[in-house]
Amino acid sequence: MKDIVIVGHGGLAREVAFLIGEINRATPTWNLLGYIASDTESVSKTVGRHTVRGTDEWLSKSTKEIAVAIAIGQPSRLRTLHERFRQNPRLSFPNLIHPSVTGDWERIAMDSGNIVLNNASFTTDIKLGSLNIINPGVTIAHDCTLGGYNLINPGACLSGEVVLGDEILMGTGARVLQQLRLCSRSVIGAGAVVTRSIEKPGVYIGIPAREMNKVRA
C-alpha cells in the first residue's frame, strides 16, 4: 500500500479519512499516515482516528514518495496549497473516489487530486480538472466540464452540458440548469437555482439565482 497524508485536520479532512478507509475496504490501496496542519502547535494531536503528522512545511520538504489529499473547504486555498506542494516531485495527487460513486468511467476524464465522496453520481462524457471536491449526493450529468479547485457541496446538481470555471463554491442543494456556464470564483448559495449563465464573480442566491447585492437592493 502507498503512503498518503491528508492536508487539513477539520471536518472535511475527517470525511476524507473515512473515504480512504472505505476505498481500502473495497481494495487495500492506502496507508494513511495522518493529517497535515499549517501550524506546529497541532502536530501530534489526535483528530478522530488519526493524528496530525506534520506541517505544510514538513510536507513541502519531504524526501519520501507520498500521496497527498488536500481536504480544505476553500477553493482559493486549494489552488494555493496545490501550487506549493506540486513543486516537490516526490508528492503525488491521486483521485480518490468512493466505491459507491456511479459513472460511465470509460467516458469520464479526470486530472489529478479530485475527491469524490459517497453516493455522488456521474453519467457520461464528463471532464474534470484538478482538485475538485465533490461532496455526498452530488449529481453531474452528461457532457459537463469542470475546471479546477471547485467545491461542490452535498446534494448539488449540474444538468447536462454545464461548464464550470475554477475556484467555484456551490452550496448544498444548489442547481444549475442545462447548457449554462459559471465563471471562475463565483459562489452559488445553498438551494439556489441558476437559470442563466454567470459571467462575473460574485455571490448568487435564490430562485432564480441573482447576485446577492442586487437581491438586497
What CATH number does the domain containing 149 carry?
Answer: 2.160.10.10
- The predicted-structure confidence for 18-53, as pLDDT tens digits, reads as follows 999 999 999 999 999 999 999 999 999 999 999 999
Mean pLDDT of 2-21: 98
Instruction: Say what the pLDDT of residue 217 is.
Output: 47
Do residue 144 and residue 72 come from a single domain? no
Q: How far is it, in rounded angstroms, from Cα 37 to Cα 43? A: 7
Among 41, 62, 94, residue at a domain's last position: 94
Taking the model in full, what pTM does it have?
Answer: 0.95
Based on the domain organization, do 209 and 160 belong to the same domain?
A: yes
Residues 44, 50, 55, 59: what is their CA dihedral angle, to the nearest 10 degrees?
130
Domain count, the chain: 2
CA separation for the pair 51, 150 (Å, rounded):
27
User: Do 15 and 64 sit in the same domain of this protein?
Assistant: yes
> Same domain for 54 and 126?
no
Span 65-84, average pLDDT: 97
